[in-house]
Amino acid sequence: MVKTIQKKKIYNFSVIIEKDENGYFIGIVPDLRGCHTQAKTLPELYNRLKEAVSLCLEVEEGLFKKEIKQNQFIGVQQLEFVK
C-alpha cells in the first residue's frame, strides 16, 4: 500500500530474510526487481535494506518511470520436499 503524506510516499514492502551456510543474513525485497543485500548481523541487514530499497525506488521511479506496485502480504510457509 502506498500512502502520500506531505508530498512524500510511504511504502510498505515485504522482505524475505534467510541465513546462508556462512552465517550471513540475506534480505530480498520481491516487489523491487534486483533489490537484495546481505550482512553479518540483523541490525546491519536492516540498515542495508533501507539503503537498497531507497536506491531501487530511485531507479524504478526515476530511470524507468514505473509506478511501484506492491503485493499484498499473506504469510510465509516453508515447504519441505523429499525426492
- Whichever domain contains 34, its CATH number is 3.30.160.250
Kindly tell me the number of DSSP H helices and DSSP E strands found in the chain. Answer: 1, 5
44 vs 25: CA distance, rounded Å:
9
In which domain, by residue range, is 42 found? 3-63
Does a structural domain hold residue 78? no
Cell digits for 35? Answer: 533489490
Does a structural domain hold residue 83? no
User: pTM to 2 decimals?
Assistant: 0.77
Q: So what's the pLDDT on residue 72?
A: 85
> Which mean pLDDT values do the consecutive 10-residue runs of the chain (83 residues) have?
69 94 96 94 97 92 77 86 92
DSSP type of residue 48: H
Cell digits for 21? Answer: 551456510
Of 16, 19, 13, nearest to 69 (Cα)?
13
